[in-house]
Structure 1
Amino acid sequence: MKLHYQLNAAFTTLLLIIMAVTGYVIYSLLLNLLVQNEQQQLEQKGEILVSVMNEQYQSLGDVDKISAFLQEQDLQLFLYNRQNNSVLYSTMPEEVVKGFYKNNYFSNAESNLWEYHSDKYVISRILVLPRGANLELILLTPMKDLQAVQHKFIERLLIVFIIGAAVAVLLSYFLTNKLVTPLTRLKYQLKKIEKRKFDEIEPIQATGEIREVAKSVYDMANELSRYISSQQSFFQNASHELKTPLMTIQGYAEGIKENVFEEAEKETGLEVMVTEVKRLKKNHQ
Protein backbone atom coordinates (compact mmCIF):
# COMPACT_ATOMS: atom_id res chain seq x y z
CA MET A 1 0.00 0.00 0.00
CA LYS A 2 1.30 3.44 -0.91
CA LEU A 3 2.31 5.85 1.83
CA HIS A 4 -0.45 8.25 0.80
CA TYR A 5 -3.15 5.64 1.44
CA GLN A 6 -1.46 4.40 4.60
CA LEU A 7 -1.48 7.90 6.12
CA ASN A 8 -5.13 8.47 5.15
CA ALA A 9 -6.15 5.07 6.51
CA ALA A 10 -4.31 5.67 9.79
CA PHE A 11 -5.81 9.15 10.21
CA THR A 12 -9.33 7.94 9.36
CA THR A 13 -9.05 5.03 11.78
CA LEU A 14 -7.82 7.30 14.57
CA LEU A 15 -10.60 9.78 13.83
CA LEU A 16 -13.27 7.07 13.94
CA ILE A 17 -11.92 5.75 17.27
CA ILE A 18 -11.92 9.25 18.80
CA MET A 19 -15.42 9.97 17.51
CA ALA A 20 -16.73 6.62 18.77
CA VAL A 21 -15.28 7.16 22.25
CA THR A 22 -16.54 10.75 22.32
CA GLY A 23 -20.01 9.69 21.17
CA TYR A 24 -20.16 6.93 23.79
CA VAL A 25 -19.11 9.29 26.59
CA ILE A 26 -21.62 11.94 25.48
CA TYR A 27 -24.37 9.34 25.16
CA SER A 28 -23.62 8.01 28.64
CA LEU A 29 -23.49 11.41 30.32
CA LEU A 30 -26.33 13.02 28.40
CA LEU A 31 -29.14 11.05 30.04
CA ASN A 32 -27.81 11.86 33.52
CA LEU A 33 -27.67 15.55 32.61
CA LEU A 34 -31.20 15.41 31.22
CA VAL A 35 -32.43 13.70 34.39
CA GLN A 36 -30.79 16.30 36.61
CA ASN A 37 -32.12 19.14 34.48
CA GLU A 38 -35.63 17.64 34.48
CA GLN A 39 -35.55 17.27 38.26
CA GLN A 40 -34.59 20.93 38.58
CA GLN A 41 -37.42 21.96 36.26
CA LEU A 42 -39.90 19.78 38.14
CA GLU A 43 -38.74 21.29 41.39
CA GLN A 44 -39.17 24.82 40.01
CA LYS A 45 -42.66 24.01 38.71
CA GLY A 46 -43.55 22.33 42.00
CA GLU A 47 -42.36 25.29 44.06
CA ILE A 48 -44.49 27.63 41.96
CA LEU A 49 -47.54 25.40 42.42
CA VAL A 50 -46.87 25.02 46.13
CA SER A 51 -46.46 28.77 46.52
CA VAL A 52 -49.84 29.34 44.87
CA MET A 53 -51.46 26.58 46.95
CA ASN A 54 -50.00 27.90 50.20
CA GLU A 55 -51.42 31.31 49.45
CA GLN A 56 -54.88 30.17 48.35
CA TYR A 57 -55.60 27.04 50.42
CA GLN A 58 -54.89 27.20 54.14
CA SER A 59 -56.35 23.97 55.55
CA LEU A 60 -56.63 20.25 54.83
CA GLY A 61 -60.33 20.78 54.26
CA ASP A 62 -59.45 22.42 50.99
CA VAL A 63 -58.13 19.17 49.45
CA ASP A 64 -60.96 19.05 46.90
CA LYS A 65 -60.19 22.58 45.77
CA ILE A 66 -56.47 21.75 45.69
CA SER A 67 -57.23 18.69 43.54
CA ALA A 68 -59.31 20.79 41.16
CA PHE A 69 -56.47 23.29 40.93
CA LEU A 70 -53.91 20.57 40.22
CA GLN A 71 -56.12 18.99 37.58
CA GLU A 72 -55.94 22.22 35.60
CA GLN A 73 -52.10 22.09 35.41
CA ASP A 74 -51.88 19.23 32.87
CA LEU A 75 -49.02 17.57 34.78
CA GLN A 76 -48.30 14.06 35.99
CA LEU A 77 -48.36 14.38 39.77
CA PHE A 78 -49.50 13.12 43.16
CA LEU A 79 -50.73 14.92 46.23
CA TYR A 80 -49.38 12.69 48.98
CA ASN A 81 -50.04 12.63 52.73
CA ARG A 82 -46.87 11.42 54.43
CA GLN A 83 -48.53 10.96 57.82
CA ASN A 84 -51.19 8.56 56.53
CA ASN A 85 -49.09 7.20 53.66
CA SER A 86 -51.98 7.89 51.30
CA VAL A 87 -52.39 9.54 47.93
CA LEU A 88 -55.03 12.30 48.15
CA TYR A 89 -54.97 13.11 44.46
CA SER A 90 -53.34 11.56 41.38
CA THR A 91 -53.26 12.20 37.65
CA MET A 92 -51.83 8.71 37.08
CA PRO A 93 -53.85 5.50 36.47
CA GLU A 94 -54.82 3.54 39.58
CA GLU A 95 -52.69 0.49 38.66
CA VAL A 96 -49.63 2.72 38.41
CA VAL A 97 -50.33 4.13 41.88
CA LYS A 98 -50.64 0.60 43.27
CA GLY A 99 -47.40 -0.37 41.60
CA PHE A 100 -45.62 2.55 43.23
CA TYR A 101 -47.10 1.59 46.59
CA LYS A 102 -45.92 -1.96 46.12
CA ASN A 103 -42.35 -0.75 45.58
CA ASN A 104 -42.57 1.61 48.61
CA TYR A 105 -41.67 4.61 46.49
CA PHE A 106 -44.01 6.97 48.33
CA SER A 107 -42.52 6.27 51.74
CA ASN A 108 -38.94 6.29 50.42
CA ALA A 109 -38.04 9.95 50.18
CA GLU A 110 -34.50 9.16 48.89
CA SER A 111 -35.58 7.64 45.58
CA ASN A 112 -35.55 10.03 42.61
CA LEU A 113 -36.31 7.44 39.93
CA TRP A 114 -39.50 5.39 40.10
CA GLU A 115 -40.23 2.37 37.95
CA TYR A 116 -43.45 0.66 36.95
CA HIS A 117 -43.06 -2.38 34.71
CA SER A 118 -40.75 -1.19 31.93
CA ASP A 119 -41.54 2.51 32.43
CA LYS A 120 -39.32 4.77 34.50
CA TYR A 121 -40.13 8.20 35.90
CA VAL A 122 -38.07 11.13 37.13
CA ILE A 123 -39.70 12.61 40.24
CA SER A 124 -39.42 15.68 42.42
CA ARG A 125 -41.03 16.08 45.88
CA ILE A 126 -42.06 19.45 47.33
CA LEU A 127 -43.56 20.02 50.77
CA VAL A 128 -47.03 21.62 50.71
CA LEU A 129 -48.67 23.91 53.29
CA PRO A 130 -47.39 24.11 56.91
CA ARG A 131 -44.95 21.32 57.73
CA GLY A 132 -47.33 19.86 60.27
CA ALA A 133 -49.78 19.04 57.48
CA ASN A 134 -47.30 16.45 56.04
CA LEU A 135 -48.55 17.04 52.49
CA GLU A 136 -46.21 16.61 49.54
CA LEU A 137 -46.60 17.46 45.91
CA ILE A 138 -44.86 14.80 43.80
CA LEU A 139 -44.28 15.63 40.11
CA LEU A 140 -43.25 13.01 37.53
CA THR A 141 -41.80 12.96 34.03
CA PRO A 142 -41.57 9.70 32.03
CA MET A 143 -38.00 8.67 31.33
CA LYS A 144 -38.99 7.82 27.75
CA ASP A 145 -39.57 11.52 27.10
CA LEU A 146 -36.00 12.25 28.17
CA GLN A 147 -34.71 9.30 26.15
CA ALA A 148 -36.49 10.69 23.09
CA VAL A 149 -34.66 13.99 23.63
CA GLN A 150 -31.44 12.02 24.08
CA HIS A 151 -31.96 10.12 20.82
CA LYS A 152 -32.75 13.29 18.88
CA PHE A 153 -29.63 14.94 20.27
CA ILE A 154 -27.50 11.90 19.36
CA GLU A 155 -28.98 11.84 15.84
CA ARG A 156 -28.03 15.48 15.33
CA LEU A 157 -24.64 14.87 16.90
CA LEU A 158 -24.15 11.93 14.54
CA ILE A 159 -24.92 14.17 11.56
CA VAL A 160 -22.39 16.71 12.84
CA PHE A 161 -19.84 13.91 13.34
CA ILE A 162 -20.40 12.60 9.80
CA ILE A 163 -20.00 16.06 8.26
CA GLY A 164 -16.98 16.76 10.46
CA ALA A 165 -15.43 13.41 9.58
CA ALA A 166 -15.96 14.01 5.85
CA VAL A 167 -14.32 17.44 6.10
CA ALA A 168 -11.47 16.01 8.20
CA VAL A 169 -10.85 13.17 5.72
CA LEU A 170 -10.80 15.60 2.79
CA LEU A 171 -8.41 17.85 4.70
CA SER A 172 -6.29 14.80 5.54
CA TYR A 173 -6.21 13.79 1.87
CA PHE A 174 -5.10 17.30 0.90
CA LEU A 175 -2.38 17.47 3.59
CA THR A 176 -1.04 13.96 2.98
CA ASN A 177 -1.03 14.61 -0.76
CA LYS A 178 0.96 17.77 -0.10
CA LEU A 179 3.34 15.73 2.06
CA VAL A 180 3.72 12.70 -0.21
CA THR A 181 3.98 14.50 -3.56
CA PRO A 182 7.52 15.81 -2.87
CA LEU A 183 8.56 12.29 -1.82
CA THR A 184 7.20 10.91 -5.08
CA ARG A 185 9.09 13.52 -7.09
CA LEU A 186 12.22 12.83 -5.08
CA LYS A 187 11.87 9.14 -5.96
CA TYR A 188 11.94 10.02 -9.66
CA GLN A 189 15.09 12.07 -9.13
CA LEU A 190 16.71 9.07 -7.42
CA LYS A 191 15.81 6.96 -10.46
CA LYS A 192 17.74 9.46 -12.60
CA ILE A 193 20.73 9.14 -10.25
CA GLU A 194 20.49 5.37 -10.51
CA LYS A 195 20.69 5.67 -14.32
CA ARG A 196 23.49 8.29 -13.99
CA LYS A 197 21.44 10.98 -15.71
CA PHE A 198 22.92 13.73 -13.55
CA ASP A 199 22.18 16.49 -16.05
CA GLU A 200 18.44 15.76 -15.89
CA ILE A 201 18.11 16.10 -12.10
CA GLU A 202 15.65 18.85 -11.13
CA PRO A 203 15.11 20.47 -7.71
CA ILE A 204 11.77 19.85 -5.96
CA GLN A 205 9.68 22.17 -3.83
CA ALA A 206 9.51 20.84 -0.26
CA THR A 207 9.66 21.97 3.35
CA GLY A 208 11.00 20.65 6.64
CA GLU A 209 12.77 17.31 6.77
CA ILE A 210 11.85 16.46 3.16
CA ARG A 211 13.74 19.52 1.94
CA GLU A 212 16.76 18.44 3.99
CA VAL A 213 16.59 14.93 2.51
CA ALA A 214 16.28 16.39 -1.01
CA LYS A 215 19.33 18.60 -0.39
CA SER A 216 21.29 15.55 0.80
CA VAL A 217 20.24 13.66 -2.35
CA TYR A 218 21.37 16.54 -4.58
CA ASP A 219 24.70 16.79 -2.73
CA MET A 220 25.16 13.05 -3.11
CA ALA A 221 24.36 13.27 -6.82
CA ASN A 222 26.91 16.07 -7.30
CA GLU A 223 29.57 14.14 -5.41
CA LEU A 224 28.81 11.00 -7.40
CA SER A 225 28.93 12.95 -10.66
CA ARG A 226 32.33 14.45 -9.76
CA TYR A 227 33.61 11.03 -8.72
CA ILE A 228 32.54 9.41 -11.98
CA SER A 229 34.03 12.30 -13.98
CA SER A 230 37.33 12.08 -12.12
CA GLN A 231 37.34 8.30 -12.58
CA GLN A 232 36.79 8.67 -16.32
CA SER A 233 39.55 11.29 -16.49
CA PHE A 234 41.88 8.98 -14.60
CA PHE A 235 41.28 6.09 -16.97
CA GLN A 236 41.72 8.34 -19.99
CA ASN A 237 45.00 9.72 -18.64
CA ALA A 238 46.18 6.27 -17.58
CA SER A 239 45.30 4.89 -21.01
CA HIS A 240 47.22 7.70 -22.69
CA GLU A 241 50.24 7.25 -20.41
CA LEU A 242 50.27 3.49 -20.95
CA LYS A 243 49.71 3.54 -24.66
CA THR A 244 53.07 5.06 -25.77
CA PRO A 245 55.43 2.94 -23.63
CA LEU A 246 53.43 -0.20 -24.35
CA MET A 247 53.63 0.45 -28.08
CA THR A 248 57.38 0.98 -27.71
CA ILE A 249 57.79 -2.22 -25.74
CA GLN A 250 55.57 -4.09 -28.22
CA GLY A 251 57.57 -2.81 -31.19
CA TYR A 252 60.95 -3.85 -29.79
CA ALA A 253 59.56 -7.18 -28.53
CA GLU A 254 58.14 -8.09 -31.96
CA GLY A 255 61.36 -6.95 -33.65
CA ILE A 256 63.48 -9.10 -31.39
CA LYS A 257 61.11 -12.04 -31.86
CA GLU A 258 61.25 -11.77 -35.66
CA ASN A 259 65.09 -11.26 -35.63
CA VAL A 260 64.72 -7.93 -37.36
CA PHE A 261 67.42 -6.23 -35.25
CA GLU A 262 71.15 -6.84 -35.15
CA GLU A 263 72.76 -7.88 -31.89
CA ALA A 264 73.59 -4.32 -30.92
CA GLU A 265 70.09 -3.16 -31.72
CA LYS A 266 68.67 -6.05 -29.71
CA GLU A 267 70.64 -4.90 -26.69
CA THR A 268 69.41 -1.37 -27.18
CA GLY A 269 65.82 -2.60 -27.53
CA LEU A 270 66.04 -4.66 -24.37
CA GLU A 271 67.42 -1.65 -22.48
CA VAL A 272 64.59 0.51 -23.80
CA MET A 273 62.02 -2.12 -22.76
CA VAL A 274 63.49 -2.37 -19.25
CA THR A 275 63.61 1.42 -18.96
CA GLU A 276 59.97 1.78 -20.02
CA VAL A 277 58.85 -0.95 -17.59
CA LYS A 278 60.68 0.74 -14.72
CA ARG A 279 59.12 4.10 -15.62
CA LEU A 280 55.64 2.55 -15.66
CA LYS A 281 56.22 0.93 -12.29
CA LYS A 282 57.48 4.22 -10.86
CA ASN A 283 54.51 6.25 -12.19
CA HIS A 284 51.94 3.84 -10.74
CA GLN A 285 53.41 3.25 -7.31
Structure 2
Amino acid sequence: MINTQKSFEHKEEGNLYLVPTPIGNLDDMTFRAVDLLKHVDLIASEDTRNTQKLLNHFEIESPQISFHEHNSKERTPQLIEKLKAGKSIAQVSDAGMPSISDPGVDLVKAAIDEGITVVPLPGANAALTALIASGLTPQPFYFLGFLPRKKKELNAKLTELNKREETLVFYESPHRIKQVVVAMKEVFGEKRQIVLAREVTKRFEEFIRGTIKEVLEWLNNEKIRGEFVVIVEGNENSETEEKAWANWTLKEHVEFVMENNDLSSKKAIKEVALIRNLPKRSVYAAYHGLDD
Protein backbone atom coordinates (compact mmCIF):
# COMPACT_ATOMS: atom_id res chain seq x y z
CA MET A 1 0.00 0.00 0.00
CA ILE A 2 1.34 3.43 -0.95
CA ASN A 3 2.08 5.83 1.89
CA THR A 4 1.99 9.60 1.29
CA GLN A 5 2.89 12.30 3.79
CA LYS A 6 2.37 16.06 3.70
CA SER A 7 4.86 17.08 6.34
CA PHE A 8 3.30 20.39 7.34
CA GLU A 9 -0.38 19.49 7.13
CA HIS A 10 -2.10 19.81 10.53
CA LYS A 11 -2.97 16.54 12.25
CA GLU A 12 -4.15 15.57 15.71
CA GLU A 13 -1.14 13.34 16.20
CA GLY A 14 2.14 14.90 17.17
CA ASN A 15 5.07 15.03 14.77
CA LEU A 16 8.28 13.06 15.08
CA TYR A 17 11.19 15.37 14.25
CA LEU A 18 14.61 13.96 13.35
CA VAL A 19 17.10 16.59 14.50
CA PRO A 20 20.83 16.38 13.63
CA THR A 21 23.28 17.59 16.25
CA PRO A 22 26.87 18.83 15.77
CA ILE A 23 29.58 16.21 15.23
CA GLY A 24 32.15 18.36 17.00
CA ASN A 25 31.68 22.09 16.50
CA LEU A 26 28.63 23.48 18.32
CA ASP A 27 28.42 26.34 15.81
CA ASP A 28 27.17 23.80 13.26
CA MET A 29 23.82 23.62 15.05
CA THR A 30 21.18 25.27 12.83
CA PHE A 31 18.80 28.02 13.96
CA ARG A 32 15.87 25.83 13.00
CA ALA A 33 17.14 22.89 15.06
CA VAL A 34 17.63 25.06 18.16
CA ASP A 35 14.19 26.63 17.79
CA LEU A 36 12.51 23.28 17.30
CA LEU A 37 14.21 21.68 20.31
CA LYS A 38 12.97 24.59 22.42
CA HIS A 39 9.35 23.99 21.41
CA VAL A 40 8.87 20.20 21.27
CA ASP A 41 7.21 18.41 24.16
CA LEU A 42 9.95 15.82 24.52
CA ILE A 43 13.47 15.06 23.25
CA ALA A 44 14.37 11.38 22.76
CA SER A 45 18.15 11.27 23.24
CA GLU A 46 20.71 8.56 22.61
CA ASP A 47 22.59 9.76 25.70
CA THR A 48 20.71 12.24 27.89
CA ARG A 49 23.87 13.37 29.69
CA ASN A 50 25.63 14.17 26.43
CA THR A 51 22.60 15.93 24.96
CA GLN A 52 22.08 17.94 28.15
CA LYS A 53 25.41 19.70 27.51
CA LEU A 54 24.07 20.76 24.10
CA LEU A 55 20.75 21.88 25.59
CA ASN A 56 22.50 23.91 28.28
CA HIS A 57 24.68 25.63 25.69
CA PHE A 58 21.65 26.80 23.72
CA GLU A 59 19.45 27.39 26.80
CA ILE A 60 16.95 24.72 25.80
CA GLU A 61 14.71 23.53 28.64
CA SER A 62 12.62 20.83 26.93
CA PRO A 63 12.56 17.54 28.88
CA GLN A 64 14.49 14.49 27.70
CA ILE A 65 13.89 10.74 27.66
CA SER A 66 16.60 8.17 26.92
CA PHE A 67 16.31 6.29 23.63
CA HIS A 68 19.21 4.03 22.63
CA GLU A 69 19.98 0.57 21.25
CA HIS A 70 19.55 -1.13 24.63
CA ASN A 71 16.04 0.20 25.37
CA SER A 72 14.62 0.87 21.89
CA LYS A 73 12.24 -2.13 21.90
CA GLU A 74 10.71 -1.00 25.18
CA ARG A 75 10.85 2.72 24.44
CA THR A 76 9.53 2.78 20.86
CA PRO A 77 5.89 1.86 21.71
CA GLN A 78 5.97 4.35 24.61
CA LEU A 79 7.06 7.15 22.27
CA ILE A 80 4.48 6.14 19.67
CA GLU A 81 1.70 6.41 22.26
CA LYS A 82 2.87 9.90 23.20
CA LEU A 83 2.90 10.92 19.53
CA LYS A 84 -0.60 9.52 19.02
CA ALA A 85 -1.71 11.55 22.03
CA GLY A 86 -0.60 14.73 20.27
CA LYS A 87 2.85 15.21 21.80
CA SER A 88 5.65 16.45 19.52
CA ILE A 89 8.94 14.57 19.90
CA ALA A 90 12.43 15.32 18.60
CA GLN A 91 14.83 12.41 18.25
CA VAL A 92 18.56 13.17 18.45
CA SER A 93 21.75 11.12 18.29
CA ASP A 94 24.92 11.78 20.26
CA ALA A 95 26.27 13.44 17.14
CA GLY A 96 25.16 13.83 13.54
CA MET A 97 22.10 12.44 11.81
CA PRO A 98 19.50 10.37 13.67
CA SER A 99 18.94 6.84 12.27
CA ILE A 100 22.58 6.60 11.08
CA SER A 101 24.27 4.04 13.34
CA ASP A 102 21.59 4.44 16.03
CA PRO A 103 18.11 2.90 16.67
CA GLY A 104 16.20 5.86 15.23
CA VAL A 105 15.23 3.85 12.17
CA ASP A 106 13.02 1.57 14.32
CA LEU A 107 11.14 4.55 15.71
CA VAL A 108 10.74 6.04 12.23
CA LYS A 109 9.31 2.77 10.86
CA ALA A 110 6.89 2.47 13.77
CA ALA A 111 5.74 6.08 13.34
CA ILE A 112 5.15 5.60 9.62
CA ASP A 113 3.15 2.42 10.31
CA GLU A 114 0.89 4.46 12.62
CA GLY A 115 0.42 7.29 10.11
CA ILE A 116 2.48 9.72 12.21
CA THR A 117 4.27 12.52 10.37
CA VAL A 118 8.07 12.19 10.35
CA VAL A 119 9.89 15.46 9.65
CA PRO A 120 13.67 15.36 8.96
CA LEU A 121 15.89 18.40 9.50
CA PRO A 122 19.15 18.89 7.58
CA GLY A 123 22.39 19.15 9.46
CA ALA A 124 25.81 17.76 10.32
CA ASN A 125 26.89 14.39 8.95
CA ALA A 126 30.43 13.05 9.32
CA ALA A 127 30.40 10.79 6.24
CA LEU A 128 29.35 13.47 3.73
CA THR A 129 31.46 16.17 5.36
CA ALA A 130 34.58 14.00 5.05
CA LEU A 131 33.70 12.75 1.57
CA ILE A 132 33.52 16.17 -0.06
CA ALA A 133 37.00 17.07 1.25
CA SER A 134 38.58 13.68 0.53
CA GLY A 135 39.68 14.42 -3.03
CA LEU A 136 38.15 11.11 -4.16
CA THR A 137 35.17 10.93 -6.52
CA PRO A 138 32.17 11.91 -4.35
CA GLN A 139 29.51 10.27 -6.48
CA PRO A 140 28.44 7.63 -6.72
CA PHE A 141 29.46 6.53 -3.25
CA TYR A 142 28.57 3.56 -1.07
CA PHE A 143 28.19 4.16 2.68
CA LEU A 144 28.41 1.11 4.95
CA GLY A 145 28.87 2.54 8.44
CA PHE A 146 30.91 0.23 10.68
CA LEU A 147 32.53 -2.91 9.27
CA PRO A 148 32.21 -6.31 11.02
CA ARG A 149 34.44 -6.80 14.06
CA LYS A 150 35.52 -10.42 13.55
CA LYS A 151 38.43 -10.90 11.16
CA LYS A 152 36.80 -13.61 9.04
CA GLU A 153 33.60 -11.59 8.62
CA LEU A 154 35.62 -8.42 7.98
CA ASN A 155 37.62 -10.04 5.16
CA ALA A 156 34.46 -11.55 3.66
CA LYS A 157 32.72 -8.15 3.65
CA LEU A 158 35.76 -6.39 2.12
CA THR A 159 35.98 -9.09 -0.57
CA GLU A 160 32.34 -8.42 -1.39
CA LEU A 161 32.94 -4.65 -1.45
CA ASN A 162 35.99 -5.11 -3.68
CA LYS A 163 33.59 -5.70 -6.58
CA ARG A 164 32.13 -2.20 -6.25
CA GLU A 165 33.20 0.72 -8.44
CA GLU A 166 31.74 3.38 -6.15
CA THR A 167 33.80 5.29 -3.60
CA LEU A 168 33.46 3.45 -0.28
CA VAL A 169 32.75 5.28 2.99
CA PHE A 170 33.02 3.78 6.50
CA TYR A 171 33.11 4.83 10.15
CA GLU A 172 35.84 3.45 12.39
CA SER A 173 37.11 3.79 15.96
CA PRO A 174 40.73 4.62 16.90
CA HIS A 175 41.43 1.20 18.44
CA ARG A 176 40.33 -0.69 15.28
CA ILE A 177 41.46 1.58 12.47
CA LYS A 178 44.87 -0.11 11.96
CA GLN A 179 43.33 -3.60 11.88
CA VAL A 180 40.81 -2.47 9.27
CA VAL A 181 43.40 -0.83 7.00
CA VAL A 182 45.61 -3.96 7.23
CA ALA A 183 42.62 -6.03 6.10
CA MET A 184 41.98 -3.56 3.26
CA LYS A 185 45.57 -3.96 2.12
CA GLU A 186 45.13 -7.73 1.99
CA VAL A 187 41.89 -7.54 -0.03
CA PHE A 188 42.12 -4.29 -2.02
CA GLY A 189 45.88 -4.28 -2.52
CA GLU A 190 48.31 -1.61 -1.36
CA LYS A 191 47.96 0.78 -4.32
CA ARG A 192 44.31 1.76 -3.83
CA GLN A 193 43.79 5.39 -2.78
CA ILE A 194 42.43 5.89 0.74
CA VAL A 195 41.64 8.88 2.95
CA LEU A 196 41.35 8.90 6.73
CA ALA A 197 39.36 11.87 8.03
CA ARG A 198 40.04 12.22 11.75
CA GLU A 199 38.00 14.27 14.24
CA VAL A 200 35.92 15.94 11.51
CA THR A 201 34.86 19.54 12.41
CA LYS A 202 36.76 19.41 15.71
CA ARG A 203 39.87 21.31 16.75
CA PHE A 204 42.25 18.52 15.73
CA GLU A 205 40.57 17.73 12.40
CA GLU A 206 43.03 15.99 10.10
CA PHE A 207 42.96 14.35 6.65
CA ILE A 208 45.49 11.63 5.77
CA ARG A 209 45.49 10.98 2.02
CA GLY A 210 47.53 8.42 0.08
CA THR A 211 47.69 4.81 -1.01
CA ILE A 212 46.69 2.08 1.42
CA LYS A 213 50.39 1.25 1.83
CA GLU A 214 51.31 4.87 2.62
CA VAL A 215 48.44 5.37 5.04
CA LEU A 216 49.25 2.13 6.85
CA GLU A 217 52.84 3.35 7.29
CA TRP A 218 51.44 6.57 8.77
CA LEU A 219 49.27 4.56 11.19
CA ASN A 220 52.28 2.51 12.27
CA ASN A 221 54.13 5.68 13.26
CA GLU A 222 51.34 7.59 14.99
CA LYS A 223 49.60 7.46 18.35
CA ILE A 224 46.06 6.88 17.14
CA ARG A 225 43.36 9.07 18.65
CA GLY A 226 39.94 10.28 17.61
CA GLU A 227 37.09 8.91 15.51
CA PHE A 228 37.67 8.24 11.82
CA VAL A 229 35.74 8.41 8.57
CA VAL A 230 37.46 6.07 6.09
CA ILE A 231 37.04 6.79 2.38
CA VAL A 232 38.38 4.32 -0.19
CA GLU A 233 38.66 4.61 -3.95
CA GLY A 234 36.32 2.25 -5.81
CA ASN A 235 37.58 -0.66 -7.89
CA GLU A 236 37.73 0.62 -11.47
CA ASN A 237 38.56 -2.88 -12.74
CA SER A 238 35.78 -4.70 -10.89
CA GLU A 239 33.43 -5.20 -13.84
CA THR A 240 36.23 -6.20 -16.20
CA GLU A 241 37.67 -8.65 -13.70
CA GLU A 242 34.31 -10.22 -12.82
CA LYS A 243 33.45 -10.83 -16.48
CA ALA A 244 36.92 -12.07 -17.34
CA TRP A 245 37.65 -14.56 -14.58
CA ALA A 246 34.90 -16.94 -15.67
CA ASN A 247 37.18 -17.86 -18.59
CA TRP A 248 40.42 -17.95 -16.60
CA THR A 249 42.12 -20.96 -15.08
CA LEU A 250 42.64 -20.72 -11.33
CA LYS A 251 46.34 -20.08 -11.90
CA GLU A 252 45.57 -17.21 -14.32
CA HIS A 253 43.15 -15.73 -11.80
CA VAL A 254 45.70 -15.87 -9.00
CA GLU A 255 48.35 -14.26 -11.23
CA PHE A 256 45.93 -11.47 -12.18
CA VAL A 257 45.11 -10.73 -8.53
CA MET A 258 48.81 -10.75 -7.63
CA GLU A 259 49.72 -8.28 -10.36
CA ASN A 260 46.65 -6.04 -10.15
CA ASN A 261 46.64 -5.72 -6.34
CA ASP A 262 50.38 -6.13 -5.70
CA LEU A 263 49.79 -9.16 -3.45
CA SER A 264 51.87 -12.20 -2.60
CA SER A 265 50.79 -15.56 -4.05
CA LYS A 266 49.59 -16.64 -0.60
CA LYS A 267 47.26 -13.66 -0.23
CA ALA A 268 46.12 -13.82 -3.86
CA ILE A 269 45.24 -17.50 -3.45
CA LYS A 270 43.16 -16.62 -0.40
CA GLU A 271 41.33 -13.84 -2.28
CA VAL A 272 40.62 -16.01 -5.34
CA ALA A 273 39.24 -18.71 -3.07
CA LEU A 274 36.86 -16.15 -1.53
CA ILE A 275 35.85 -14.70 -4.90
CA ARG A 276 35.14 -18.13 -6.42
CA ASN A 277 33.75 -19.64 -3.23
CA LEU A 278 36.26 -22.51 -3.41
CA PRO A 279 38.40 -24.24 -0.76
CA LYS A 280 41.75 -22.48 -0.43
CA ARG A 281 43.57 -25.80 -0.82
CA SER A 282 42.01 -26.28 -4.30
CA VAL A 283 43.25 -22.89 -5.48
CA TYR A 284 46.67 -23.53 -3.91
CA ALA A 285 46.94 -26.89 -5.68
CA ALA A 286 45.92 -25.43 -9.06
CA TYR A 287 48.37 -22.53 -8.77
CA HIS A 288 51.29 -24.75 -7.80
CA GLY A 289 50.40 -27.56 -10.22
CA LEU A 290 49.69 -30.07 -7.48
CA ASP A 291 47.02 -32.74 -7.24
CA ASP A 292 44.12 -31.50 -5.05
TM-score bracket for this pair, using the shorter chain length: under 0.3
Which structure is larger by alpha-carbon Rg, 1 or 2?
Answer: 1
Could you state the TM-score of these two structures normalised by the residue count of structure 1?
0.17
Report which of the two has the higher share of strand: 2
Report which of the two has the higher share of helix: 1
Could you state the TM-score of these two structures normalised by the residue count of structure 2?
0.17
